[in-house]
Amino acid sequence: MIKKECCYYQSSTVKDDPEDEESIIKGMTPNPLLKKNEWGWAIDPIGFRIALKEIYARYKMPIFVTENGIGVREELNENKTVEDDYRIDYLRAHIEQMKLAMEEGVDVIGYLTWGCTDILSSQGEMKKRYGFMFVNRDESDLRDLKRYKKKSFEWFKNVISTNGKQL
């Protein structure tokens, strides 16, 4: 089976001053019109849709989204959960744009988030959390390693059970 791998994590803009300190890659800089997470990653659901359309137009192959999500600092509240409405909003907006891309002809055959539980980031950090389940540990203390459902857990469970009809 032939497969192609492509990545989309955020959109950027091209700037005419490649020496600018905000430049990510020479000439590339975060879009100043977009909201960013606390690590400076642009939040751009429309960019996600554009990337899906461009990848599909280029390769004419079904797409399986294997990573989509937002990393944020989180701690349990007094009810032993995390009220992560920002994650729900982020995922809802990206799924809505993916559905639009599908209506526009993109063959998306699957969708996964970054992880169902909080996992170590690519830098080995636990402070950047991605999942629907809070893992009770931090950078240096394993604590008790218990798992706690975040608000987004039930939301995403409903998204799955309705096959994306209820976002």
Q: What are the pLDDT digits (tens) for 61-101?
A: 999 999 999 999 999 999 999 999 999 999 999 999 999 99
Residue 1 has pLDDT above 70, yes or no: no
Q: What is the CA radius of gyration of the chain?
A: 17
* Residue written as token pair 């001053």: 17
Q: Which candidate, 118, 161, 113, 111, places its Cα nearest to that of 136?
A: 118
Q: Is the pLDDT of residue 12 over 90?
A: no
38 Cβ partners below 8 Å, 6+ apart?
72, 73
Three-state secondary-structure class, residue 67: coil
- Cβ pair 150, 81 in contact under 8 A: yes
Task: Tell me if residue 97 falls in helix, strand or coil.
Answer: helix
Fill in the amino acid letter for 38: E
What's this model's pTM, rounded to 2 decimal places? 0.89
pLDDT digit string, tens, across residues 104-134: 999 999 999 988 999 888 777 899 999 999 9
Token output for 95: 């799924």
Residues tagged active-site: 67
Per-residue pLDDT at 26? 66
- Cα separation, 67 vs 7, in Å, equals 9
Q: What are phi and psi of 133, to 5 degrees?
A: -120, 125
C-alpha distances in Å from residue 39, one per residue of 4, 36, 42, 128, 157 = 28, 7, 9, 9, 27
pLDDT at 44 over 80: yes
Domains of the chain: 7-35 (no CATH), 44-161 (3.20.20.80)
Distance CA 10, CA 30 (A): 9
Task: Compute CA 157 distance to the chain's CA centroid, rounded to the nearest angstrom.
Answer: 17
